[in-house]
Amino acid sequence: MSERIHPELPPRLRAIAELLPDAMRGHAGLHEYDGTAADLSPEGVRAHLERLGGDPLEDPHDEAHLTAFENGLRYELGELQSHRDNPLVHIGGMDLSEYEREYAPAAERDAARITHLRLWPRLVDHAIASLDRVGAPTAKSLIGAARGLSGSLPDEMPEDVRRDALAAHARLVAHLEHAAEHGPEDVSLGGEALARLMGTPEAMEVDLTDLAARADAERDRLRALLAEATGRLAPGREPLEVARELTRDHPDTEGVLESARRWTELCLEFTAERGLAPYSDGECRVDVPPPAQRWATAMMAWSGPWERDTPSFYYVNPPDPEWSEQEADEWLEMFSHTTLPAVSVHEVAPGHYSHGRALRRLQSPVRRALPSMSFVEGWAHYVEEVCVEEGFGEYAAERLGDPDWTADHFEIGVWLEALIRVTRLAVAIGVHSGSMTVEEATARFVEDTPLQGPAALAEAQRATFDPTYGRYTWGKLEIMALRERARERWGSGFSLQRFHRELLALGAPPLGLIDAILDD
């Protein structure tokens, strides 16, 4: 049997864990929640929300962190009732892919997966009871993710479990297909709702007008940086034209994983040598993702804070073997020799993998268990630019010894990834405040990023079901602004290593609480 960790969680944190058992398994490594799922029916959500709250914690920062998380859930599920219009809330509760990772013996994980599968008929009943206002654009965007749930079914299971699970799965897919055809076209939240959805769990007020202006300013800064870098490689040419040409130079299907392994090795070595993250231990493997997560390009599945120390996985998704040559080529552009280095820094070191290693050292259950996703993604995006500043491009070029790859390629990749993320922020604000249609959002991706055609449309459509997907840039901007305040406050005591150490000691805090590192 695997080592089971059943920590003494504060009652208020336990109430959140019972509402979000999938997050507790995946992010925190609390496998006492294996084989369980929350009741996300209308009555079940109300009951879960009523159990939130209680006596304050002794540590004031942890109390503020926990309160922000509770308030975010109350707003998202209580006032906005996102379980009624966002299928992702229910898809996450049915997802079996976490059992693929080797955190415990295979037999134990298989048993948990079967137990979880037995819940599918009831979970689909809950989903259909709740999902009564799904917009057509949202349903169209998420039918693929819903269908992909069946990809993690084990080969061997009791026949009645397979029959009942697949029948339930078919009912969920049919419900979303009906919504895709008959659901409302307008899925915008409204500006006030978006501001509260973003700000409440981050313990801060959000001014969308100000944030949109910051996004435009960041886009202009990134455009200038991209022009400088492409100008060194191809003087006089249009920057995005050069960038699109570079992204067409990529490994073939067989070479993607090997290329990702080489970049993983380089960014881990560089991070450790420069001390860019507090810890550089553990094992990070590169592999293809589980079937249910084949919709994503790349992701990190880390060894959770409450797990025994097992390998983390940097999942890289090659093209589907059934795709045409053109479709496969377009997919592989996301793993080009220009962009894959930046993706690897983001996912591995000093990005998500390094962050996960720091979380394992924390003693506070609140800081271990409750992540601000704006901080999580903001941190990983922020360190991409840190690696430009610290010379990772030159470091990698020297070790690769490839005359066709230079530090400029790394820098261009970072600016391209950043342009996509800042456009997400602008588009999310535009779509949900009503100032931008999905068609106009698509045009903005075409104008400001290397994305074209279906890829640009897919990014624009994501705003309909992931309204806070501007969190990458927003989190990065808040961390960069904090770094400048730390330089001023700490004076000669400032170092990048100290800043990163102090920041990750907070876990993955709400953005409104990150100034705590400046306190004496």
Judge whether 490 lies within some domain. Answer: no
CB neighbour list of residue 328: distance below 8 Å, 6 or more residues apart: 253, 319, 320
Among 428, 429, 387, which residue's Cα sits nearest to residue 410? 387
CA 20/CA 34 separation, integer angstroms: 12
pLDDT given for residue 419 in this prediction: 97
> Please, are residues 229 and 411 in contact by the beta-carbon 8 Å criterion?
yes
* Boundary-marking domain end, from 477, 493, 510: 477
CA 283/CA 289 separation, integer angstroms: 17
Q: Looking up tokens 């040409």, which residue turns up? A: 245
pLDDT grade for 409, boundaries at 50, 70 and 90: very high
The mean pLDDT value for 99-115 works out to 92
CB neighbour list of residue 174: distance below 8 Å, 6 or more residues apart: none
Judge whether 316 lies within some domain. Answer: yes
Please say whether the dihedral angle defined by the alpha carbons of residues 65, 70, 73 and 78, taken in this order, is positive or negative: negative
pLDDT grade for 456, boundaries at 50, 70 and 90: confident
- Is residue 114 located within the same domain as residue 236? no
pLDDT grade for 45, boundaries at 50, 70 and 90: very high
Judge whether 193 lies within some domain. Answer: no
DSSP helix/strand/coil, 390: coil
Judge whether 452 lies within some domain. Answer: yes
Judge whether 433 lies within some domain. Answer: yes
> Please, are residues 424 and 198 in contact by the beta-carbon 8 Å criterion?
no
- Is residue 38 located within the same domain as residue 71? yes
- Is residue 207 located within the same domain as residue 183? no
Task: Express each pLDDT in 326-384 by its tens digit.
Answer: 878 888 888 899 999 999 999 999 999 999 999 999 999 999 999 999 999 999 999 99
- Is residue 40 located within the same domain as residue 111? yes
CB neighbour list of residue 7: distance below 8 Å, 6 or more residues apart: 30, 306, 365
Token digits for 330? Answer: 């377009």
pLDDT grade for 6, boundaries at 50, 70 and 90: low
The mean pLDDT value for 110-128 works out to 97
Model confidence pTM above 0.85: yes
CA 193/CA 29 separation, integer angstroms: 32
- Is residue 470 located within the same domain as residue 367? yes
Task: Express each pLDDT in 170-189 by its tens digit.
Answer: 999 999 999 999 999 988 99
DSSP helix/strand/coil, 61: helix
pLDDT given for residue 176 in this prediction: 97
CB neighbour list of residue 178: distance below 8 Å, 6 or more residues apart: none
pLDDT grade for 198, boundaries at 50, 70 and 90: very high
Q: 448 is in which domain, residue-wise?
A: 201-477
pLDDT given for residue 3 in this prediction: 47
Judge whether 482 lies within some domain. Answer: no
Q: Is residue 350 reached through a cis peptide bond, with omega within 30 degrees of 0 on the bond before it?
A: yes
- Is residue 388 located within the same domain as residue 270? yes
CA 511/CA 435 separation, integer angstroms: 26
pLDDT given for residue 327 in this prediction: 79
- Is residue 215 located within the same domain as residue 339? yes
Q: Looking up tokens 């008929």, which residue turns up? A: 121
> Please, are residues 308 and 2 in contact by the beta-carbon 8 Å criterion?
yes
Task: Tell whether the model's pLDDT for residue 322 goes beyond 90.
Answer: no
Task: Express each pLDDT in 247-258 by its tens digit.
Answer: 999 998 889 999
- Is residue 151 located within the same domain as residue 15? yes
Judge whether 505 lies within some domain. Answer: no
Task: Express each pLDDT in 415-441 by its tens digit.
Answer: 999 999 999 999 999 999 988 988 999
Task: Tell whether the model's pLDDT for residue 455 goes beyond 90.
Answer: no
Judge whether 255 lies within some domain. Answer: yes
CB neighbour list of residue 496: distance below 8 Å, 6 or more residues apart: 275, 276, 386, 390
- Is residue 75 located within the same domain as residue 154? yes
* Boundary-marking domain end, from 129, 154, 187: 187
Task: Express each pLDDT in 48-78 by its tens digit.
Answer: 999 999 999 999 999 999 999 999 999 999 9
Q: ∠19-433-183 over CA atoms, to 5°?
A: 65
Over the chain, what is the mean pLDDT? 94
Q: 313 has which bridge partners?
A: 285, 301
- Is residue 177 located within the same domain as residue 234? no
Ranges of beta strands (E only) in 323-464 are none
- Is residue 164 located within the same domain as residue 231? no
- Is residue 100 located within the same domain as residue 127? yes
Phi-psi region of 8 (alpha: psi -120 to 50; beta: other; left: phi over 0): beta
To the nearest whole percent, how much of the chain has pLDDT over 70?
A: 97
Helix (H) or strand (E) holding 301: strand 298-301
Domain count for the chain: 2
pLDDT given for residue 1 in this prediction: 33
How are beta strands 298-301 and 284-287 bridged, if at all? unpaired
CA 452/CA 34 separation, integer angstroms: 41
Tally of CA atoms within 13 A in the half-sphere of 250 that contains its CB: 26
Task: Express each pLDDT in 201-245 by its tens digit.
Answer: 999 999 999 999 999 999 999 999 999 999 999 999 999 999 999
pLDDT given for residue 311 in this prediction: 93
Task: Express each pLDDT in 262-300 by its tens digit.
Answer: 999 999 999 999 999 999 999 999 998 876 666 668 899
CA 378/CA 198 separation, integer angstroms: 14
CA 383/CA 276 separation, integer angstroms: 9
Rg over CA atoms, the chain: 22
* Boundary-marking domain end, from 440, 455, 477: 477
